[in-house]
């Protein structure tokens, strides 16, 4: 995942680097909060674990909605870079989360 982010960063122009960082940062933040909720709920009960899993997925969906609706004034190329980096970041972090939590 780090190699893909580095390649994306290298190939992107100056105008796309900030949206790429926004997307990856949002993916990291949403995944970190979701993983923390899972870790905290794991010892309580199965129901609490499932609720925290749902919370993590809803949080990721809400962040995606904000990224889609938020920068409506930005160029479509910038929005596409932010959304693509968010989607790839969430996918990578979910794979790590499923393996380790």
Please identify every stretch of the chain with a pLDDT value under 70, giving residue numbers as ranges: 1-13, 70-75, 101
pTM: 0.79
Q: Give phi and psi for 99, each to the nearest 5.
A: -75, -35
Q: What are 14's two structure tokens?
A: 């100056």
Cβ atoms 17, 83 nearer than 8 A:
no
Write down the pLDDT at residue 51.
Answer: 94
pLDDT at 53: 92
pLDDT for the residue numbered 100:
75
Dist CA 51 CA 75 (whole Å): 37
Task: Give the pLDDT score at 7.
Answer: 58
Estimate to the nearest angstrom the gap between the alpha carbon of 26 and the chain centroid.
5
């Amino acid at each position: 995942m780090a190699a893909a982010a580095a390649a994306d960063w290298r190939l992107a122009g100056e105008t796309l680097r900030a949206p790429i960082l926004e997307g990856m940062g949002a993916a990291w933040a949403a995944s970190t909060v979701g993983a923390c909720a899972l870790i905290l709920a794991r010892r309580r009960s199965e129901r609490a674990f499932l609720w925290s899993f749902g919370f993590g997925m809803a949080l990721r969906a809400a962040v995606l909605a904000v990224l889609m609706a938020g920068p409506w004034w930005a160029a479509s190329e910038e929005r596409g870079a932010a959304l693509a980096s968010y989607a790839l970041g969430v996918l990578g972090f979910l794979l790590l989360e499923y393996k380790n939590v």
